[in-house]
Amino acid sequence: MAALLTALVVVLAMAVALVAPNWSGSGIGQLPVSTPSATQPAQANPSTSSQRAVAQSQTTASEAQSKGVVLITTQTTSGAAAGSGMVLSSDGYVLTNYHVVETSTRITATVASTNKQYTATVVGRDATNDVALLKLDGASGLDTVTIDSDTVNTGDQVTAVGNSSGQGYLSAATGQVVSTSSSITVQNETSASQTETLTNVYETSTQAVPGDSGGPMFDAENEVMGITTAGETQTNSRTGQSSTVSSYAIPIARAMSIVKQIESGQSSGTVQVGPKAYLGVTVQASQSGSVTISQVVSDGPAAAAGLSVGQVITAVDGTRIDSQATLSSVLAQHKPGDKVSVTVSSGYGGGTQTASLTLGTSPIN
């Protein structure tokens, strides 16, 4: 009897969790059944089975395909992860997916063609469109990728290049454009909401894998037409092995418009420039919708305002807080140094209090 296959779509954060969950440390990301999901960061030490899967669908990237591409590794709040990025300027501005660096506390980028490493900082991000702009500290004289300006059509030949499975070198996966206007809902463990929806993205037949997230989707002329972002997989129910059947890419024109806004230095709409604002607490969300403080950082804004473990955050600046995603969304509208009011209750019918505090600078991207 033929083995059963289950279709799954994963947000390619195509970042691979190096020490963290899912995909045996290397995968396109989490896959909701029949729904594209954000690919997760690749694990630092991919398993033999995941390396074998990569070998079946990918080849080593050529010198031309490696030009201007970086291998990204991050330290995160839950371990380590890996992804890819593209050099936009000789002084080290790099384009990648936000999910590749989301929740990171340290980012390292290695130039694929020279193996030179740089510490990177997040200049700005657009979580809704899954785009981030990084700056490599002290970089100069770097080769850059070439941005495509041609119209993308169904049937065009494309190649996804990236740090597949966090292997530490670049691989390439070829295919064709299947659709120029797909919409997908992806699972993304690094996001507070756990999912994200991307609209009008390119669907391709390339077999990208986790770790490829943030890397270039090249056209036939080795010009970047998109950012590899998510993948759809099929899982063999007998062997448990998964293989990518479709990969999704954010159009490069959209990404570059976001980069331009970040470079202007002005946060607007879904684009945020600079570090995140910070309450200085760790919270635990319940199924009932309450958000309870589980840890207060010493000398942080919350500690200075007298907030304590066990209190339930019910509102920030008058906005009702009913989930961790809502709290993150409210804080995303602020920058470090902003003053906000935080309303908390003691839970179980306890009284409420409202404290005024000044938001700090988050150590987490």
Q: Are residues 265 and 216 in the same domain?
A: yes
Q: Which residues are catalytic?
A: 99, 130, 213
- The CATH number that applies at residue 134 is 2.40.10.120
Q: Which residues of the chain have pLDDT under 50?
A: 1-13, 19-41, 43-55
Q: Which of 256, 272, 288 is the last residue of a domain?
A: 272
Give the whole-angstrom CA distance, residue 359 versus residue 248. 37
Q: Are residues 152 and 254 in the same domain?
A: yes
Give the whole-angstrom CA distance, residue 127 versus residue 242. 27
Mind listing the pLDDT tens digit for each residue in 48-81?
A: 444 444 445 689 999 999 999 999 999 987 789 9
Give the whole-angstrom CA distance, residue 284 versus residue 298. 18
Give strand pairing partners of 162: 171
- The CATH number that applies at residue 338 is 2.30.42.10
pTM (two decimals): 0.84
CB-CB contact of 176 with 158 (8 Å): yes
Q: Are residues 126 and 252 in the same domain?
A: yes
Q: Are residues 301 and 167 in the same domain?
A: no
**Half-sphere exposure of residue 270, counting CA atoms within 13 Å on the CB side?**
12
The reported pLDDT for the residue numbered 105 is 95
The reported pLDDT for the residue numbered 285 is 81
The reported pLDDT for the residue numbered 2 is 37
Q: Are residues 65 and 197 in the same domain?
A: yes
The reported pLDDT for the residue numbered 24 is 25
Q: Are residues 255 and 326 in the same domain?
A: no
Q: Which of 250, 272, 294 is the last residue of a domain?
A: 272
Q: Are residues 320 and 171 in the same domain?
A: no
Q: How far is CA 304 from CA 55, 308, 309, 355, in A?
A: 53, 10, 13, 10
Q: Are residues 283 and 191 in the same domain?
A: no
Give the whole-angstrom CA distance, residue 86 versus residue 93. 8
Q: Are residues 279 and 268 in the same domain?
A: no
The reported pLDDT for the residue numbered 258 is 98
Give strand pairing partners of 35: none
The reported pLDDT for the residue numbered 189 is 60
The reported pLDDT for the residue numbered 180 is 97
Q: Are residues 258 and 313 in the same domain?
A: no
Q: Which of 244, 272, 300 is the last residue of a domain?
A: 272
The reported pLDDT for the residue numbered 15 is 62
Number of separate domains in the chain: 2
Domain residues for the domain of 175 are: 1-272
Q: Are residues 39 and 96 in the same domain?
A: yes
The reported pLDDT for the residue numbered 51 is 43
Phi, psi of 278 (to 5 degrees): -145, 125
Give the whole-angstrom CA distance, residue 19 versus residue 209. 17
Q: Are residues 252 and 291 in the same domain?
A: no
